[in-house]
Every structure is written in C-alpha cells, then in structure tokens.
Amino acid sequence: MSGTNVSTDVVELLSAFPVADELAERFAAAGHRLYLVGGSVRDALLGRLSGDLDFTTDARPPAVQKLLAGWADAIWDTGIAFGTVGAAKRGQTVEITTFRADAYDGVTRNPEVTFGDTIEGDLVRRDFTVNAMAFDLVERVLVDPTGGRAALAAKVLDTPATPQESFSDDPLRMLRATRFVSQLGFTPAPRVVEAMTAMAGELGRITPERVQAELSKLLTGAHPRAGVELMVATGLADVVLPELPAMKLEIDEHHQHKDVFHHSLVVLEQAIDLEEDGPDLVLRIAALLHDIGKPDTRRFEEGGGVSFHHHEVVGAKMVRKRLRALRYAKDVIEDVAQLVYLHLRFHGYGSGGWTDSAVRRYVTDAGHLLPRLHKLVRADCTTRNRRKANALQRTYDELERRIDRIAAEEDLRRVRPDLDGNEIMRLLGLPPGPQVGRAWKFLKELRLDRGPLDHDEAVAELFAWARSEGIEPPG
C-alpha cells in the first residue's frame, strides 16, 4: 500500500473507472448505498485494481436491475439466485451483489441465500480478512470491521470468524488459501494452517470443477511452489491431488536418489523461469507432475541403485486419469500427458546415437508442444554437479541446433507423406477406406526415416508396399 491515506489511494485508482462514480450517483439518488468490495478493494489497496469491479449494496436484486436499466449496455441475471446482477458499460464489466447474511447446511458448499441489511454483516461472512473490506463510494471511506487493512500490510491470511467456522461453511476456502499464498505471497496465520490440517477431508464436499479452478489459479500464481507446499503440508493434496504427496519417497543411506517431490518443485520453478509470455498452465502442470509415475515404478537394484523404468509411460497414464477426474479440458489433458510421456526421450540423445530420423520423430511426436518440451527438458536438469549440468545444457543446445538445421531443409512441423491421399487412390486404383490410410501411414514413416523423397522414388516405394499387401496397382 503506497500511501498513508487509504481513501485517497483508492479514489485515485478508481479515477480510471468512471463507471464506479456513475453507479454510485444512481444508487445514492435512489436512496441506496453502493460499495466497492472484496478482492476489488484488496487489489486497489495493493495498487493494482483490475478491470472487473465487484460491488455490494443494500438494494435488493429487482431494485438493482431497475437502477441498471437505461444505464448499462448489457445486463445479465445468471447469478440473481445468489443476489448478483451483472452488467457491462463501455466495455467495463461490473457485478453488484445485495448484502448477504447466508447460512450453510454443513453438507454442501451451497448456502441458504439470505439477504442482509448492513455492510458490516456482509463483510464478516467473507472468506479472509483481506477480502472483507469495502469502500463506500458515496462517503469515500474504507469499511474494515475485521482488520483486513492491517492483515494486508502484514501479508497475513486470516479469517474474519474462526477458521473452523469459515471452512465449515465453505471448505473450498481452504484451497483458496493456498491459491492466495501463491498469487499474493501471503503467509497463512497459524490458526488457519491448523484448521486446514484438521479439516482437509471436508474438501471432498466440493465439486471437481471448483477444485480445478482454484488449482489452476494456484499454479499460475506468482509463487506456486509456496501454494503447493502448503497444500501438501496440510493434507489438502491428499484429497485433490494425492499423487503429489506420494512423490515424497523415503531416501535411505543405501538407496540414494533425489527426493522426487522436492525435485518436481525445483523443476516447476525452473520451468517458470523459462516462460516467455506469462504463466503457462500446461507447462507448469507438466513440470509439477512429470515424475508422477516414479513411486509406482521404483525398484531397488543390486548394489544400492534405484530405477524407475518406464515411469514416463506410467506417468502419462496417471496424468490423464487425474486431470480427467479434475475435469480439465481435453486439450489440456492430452498436452500435459504428451509432455510427461516425452520428457525423458532426450536423455537417449547424449549417447550420440540419434540419426536424422530420430530427430525428425522427436519433433513430429512433440508437434505443437515442441517449444514447451524444450523448456521442460531444460528445467528437468536439477543436478548440483555444475559440470554435469553444463554438459546437459550444451547437449540440448546441440540438439536444438540440429533440429533447426534439419527444419531449414525440411518442414518438420508439418511432416506429410510425399504423396497425398488423392494421389495414393489414383495410383493404386483404390476407393477411400482403410487401405488408403495404411498406405498414407507407410509413406509418412518412410518420410520420417529418410527425409523427403522425389516423386518417382515415392511412387516406386508405394507400389512396392502395395504389392507386399496384396494390392496390385492398375496398368
């Protein structure tokens, strides 16, 4: 918080959003109060008010709709059952919610919606004190009944009521705490950590979709490692992502190997350092879970060694299963799984045995994920042996140069057979069907192995393949 006069700080930030003053005037003229509230106030006090504004008011939803009519460019009522009316004005989105005084049933996270009459009563039912502040847009004063401003200055995350009451009302707040640790760099109060640890199992009441939304915000925050560590330490991860604590493998004096969980956190941080255009959710999930298959594949070898054979194959399957359970989008699931599956392949390159064909396959199998795969492989180098680390990075530099060289000669990102499907059908006299698909696949594999073929050579190879399949070309 940059200044001593909080009201002045907020007013200055709000000057960039004239819709706030316009709304305040309309509500005041009708005898109602209007407050900027919650995360909007928190962010304003942090000097970074975002574009979407949240307001609260004593006006009931029908009255809010009437006040917005004739002013807003668009109005929607998808949240009206919970007292929220949304609107847009000159590209600015606002949500206005009637004071709430809800009661929870203790079984689901769905409250019995009850409207309140005071701003103080509304604020004390919110999740954390840093989100339990409001700014009176008419009087230009901060309303802070639970000490949110002091908590914000101290970067402490605490609850307005007791944590037990707060988390019992809505268990998702426990996961939201880990998200705020990641996004804002806050430290949870000891009583909050204690309650999260004791009540972690309550998170099972929450739908996977809501859990996934909070997890994604945590992972794309500024400090995701701190959020993940809190999630694991309190037992929340046992409920929502049990594969994470499972990576905390015991290390004894006879079987030395990296702590897989700690290694994964380091890889996450190193992958973040390689991001170029802001947080990359797919890359971050892949970095955190790239070794998810190690616990299930760990084998103790004679002589004191430890192996994790095929952990990338097992890991890709586990990633798909977990991300599906969390209702991630199909493209996110497949991208993360493919990165996990491919993250070890580079380590066969250092032996010097890769042909141009192997490089083509590496690029082709990665497809659009190649830039992310480059980052993941580099981030996966966590050895403390500086000489070994430098050697690995030099080897990957050499592979990238080789990819660029071959790509300059061939369009690796769009490897296609030298003959397309129409020409295959014409040359072999085939109708559309499985045989054409097999011929196309044969020619693609040939292209990967040998690079581009001239037309006559490709036709000759196609005819030879066709005869081996019992297909006699016409003429």
> What is the predicted pLDDT for the residue at 41?
93
- What is the C-alpha to C-alpha distance for residues 146 and 31, in angstroms, rounded to an integer? 27
* Strand stretches in 99-248, DSSP E: 103-104, 111-112, 134-136, 141-143, 156-157, 187-188
Which of 146-155, 224-233, 274-283, 288-297 is least confident? 288-297
Helix, strand, coil share of the chain (percent; to 5): 55, 10, 35
Note the pLDDT tens digit of each residue in 199-220.
999 999 999 999 999 999 999 9
Using 50, 70 and 90 to split pLDDT, how confident is the model at 228? Answer: very high
Q: Tell me the per-residue pLDDT of 305-320, one tens digit each, with 9 for 90 and over.
A: 777 778 999 999 999 9
Does position 331 have pLDDT exceeding 60, yes or no?
A: yes
What is the rounded CA–CA span in Å between residue 459 and residue 290?
42
pLDDT in tens, 353-382: 788 888 988 998 999 999 999 999 999 988
Predicted confidence (pLDDT) at residue 87 exceeds the cutoff of 80? yes
More confident residue, 317 or 52: 317
Q: How open is the CA angle 249-253-255, to the nearest 5 degrees? A: 60
- Per-residue pLDDT tens digits for 60-75: 999 999 999 999 999 9
Share of the chain above pLDDT 70, in %: 91
Tell me, which fold does domain 1-152 have in CATH?
Answer: Beta Polymerase; domain 2 (3.30.460)
What is the rounded average pLDDT for all residues in the chain? 89
- Start-to-end CA distance of the chain, whole Å, equals 83
HSE-up (13 A, CA, CB side) for residue 182: 22
Instruction: Measure CA 102 to chain center.
Output: 31
H/E run at residue 331:
helix 330-342
Q: Which pLDDT value is given to residue 3?
A: 39
Q: What are the boundaries of each domain within the chain?
A: 1-152, 281-413, 416-468
pLDDT band of 415, cuts 50, 70, 90: low
